[in-house]
């Protein structure tokens, strides 16, 4: 597959220590009606690639409470890092999987990793805002057959084993694998239950289940968005799944 040169990503995207600068914008969530206000997204930075097994292994080596044999059951399920092998001192990924995205990690574990990097998980709004970009436009939803391409990516991911991160064509922002490799944790995965920007809402309970509204959806044919909201609706913060990983974000003024 031909990769797009960085010069064609648009002037808004600038690499910063493996992150892309995302300028402010707006997007309309699936569950809002056409006359609802758009959701504003402030400038932020987002990892260009999902966190890999190699990177997560470095994290647990330095933060031993997140090692598979030590981590507390309040924060992870038994399947936590179950794809790793038992080594002499701790569990570790297979050498062939080092550059593949880490999976079987809970929301708590993902958030702890990001905080250790002086970062955070992206919000649902931030993730969806970047994920709506095509290869050449900030909003690819109006491009012919673009939604079908996203569905095709999802179907491919369901049938194939994980590949290494960054092997796909980057989107407009220079971000890889927003579709078709893994599902990804967001900071406020339960945000469909509340109003407003949950990152600024101290009343948010991270243990809540999220709910995806479908009645009155803006685009009932956007099945890929329904899949994402439906998947988030099934999550609890301690879940560890073989299709679920993460990437980190930072506020734009850092």
Helix axes 223-232, 146-159, angle to 10 degrees: 50
User: Does some domain include residue 181?
Assistant: yes
Q: How far is CA 252 from the centre of its chain?
A: 18
pLDDT of residue 87: 78
User: Does some domain include residue 74?
Assistant: no
For 12-44, the pLDDT digits (tens) are 333 345 999 999 998 876 555 556 678 899 999
Total count of domains within the chain: 1
User: Does some domain include residue 3?
Assistant: no
Percent of the chain with pLDDT over 90: 43
pLDDT of residue 192: 53
pLDDT of residue 37: 75
User: Does some domain include residue 75?
Assistant: no
pLDDT of residue 17: 54
pLDDT of residue 107: 93
pLDDT of residue 218: 43
For 94-133, the pLDDT digits (tens) are 999 999 999 999 999 999 999 999 999 999 889 989 988 9
- 3-state DSSP call for residue 62? helix
Which regions in the chain score pLDDT beneath 50? 1-16, 193-221
User: Does some domain include residue 172?
Assistant: yes
Residue tagged 């809540």 (tokens): 208
Q: Which domain holds residue 226?
A: 15-51+114-251
Token pair recorded at residue 136: 């050449």
pLDDT of residue 220: 43
pLDDT of residue 120: 97
User: Does some domain include residue 99?
Assistant: no
User: Does some domain include residue 122?
Assistant: yes
Are the CB atoms for 186 and 232 separated by under 8 Å? yes
User: Does some domain include residue 212?
Assistant: yes
Buried b (16+ CB within 10 A) or exposed e, 49-68: bbbbbbbbbebbeeeeebbb
Strand order in the sheet with 249-251: 15-16, 19-22, 44-47, 249-251
């Amino acid at each position: 597959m031909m990769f797009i040169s960085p010069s064609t990503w648009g002037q808004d995207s600038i690499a910063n220590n493996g992150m892309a600068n995302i300028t402010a914008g707006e997007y309309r969530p699936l569950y809002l009606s056409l006359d609802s206000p758009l959701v504003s997204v402030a400038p932020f930075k987002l990892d260009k690639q999902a966190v890999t097994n190699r990177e997560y292994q470095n994290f647990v080596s330095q933060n031993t409470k997140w090692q598979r044999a030590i981590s507390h059951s309040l924060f992870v399920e038994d399947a936590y890092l179950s794809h790793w092998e038992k080594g002499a001192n701790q569990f570790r990924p297979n050498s062939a999987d080092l550059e593949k995205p880490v999976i079987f990690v809970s929301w708590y574990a993902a958030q702890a990793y990001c905080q250790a990097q002086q970062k955070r998980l992206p919000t649902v709004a931030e993730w969806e805002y970047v994920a709506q970009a095509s290869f050449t436009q900030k909003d690819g939803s109006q491009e012919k057959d673009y939604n079908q391409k996203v569905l095709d990516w999802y179907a491919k991911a369901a049938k194939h084993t994980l590949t290494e991160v960054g092997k796909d064509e980057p989107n407009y922002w220079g971000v890889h694998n927003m579709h078709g490799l893994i599902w990804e944790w967001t900071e406020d995965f339960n945000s469909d239950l509340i109003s407003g920007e949950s990152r600024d809402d101290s009343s948010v309970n991270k243990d809540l289940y999220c709910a995806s509204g479908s009645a009155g959806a803006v685009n009932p044919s956007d099945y890929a968005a329904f899949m994402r909201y439906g998947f988030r609706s099934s999550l609890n913060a301690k879940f560890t799944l073989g299709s679920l990983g993460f990437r980190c974000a930072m506020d734009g003024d850092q």
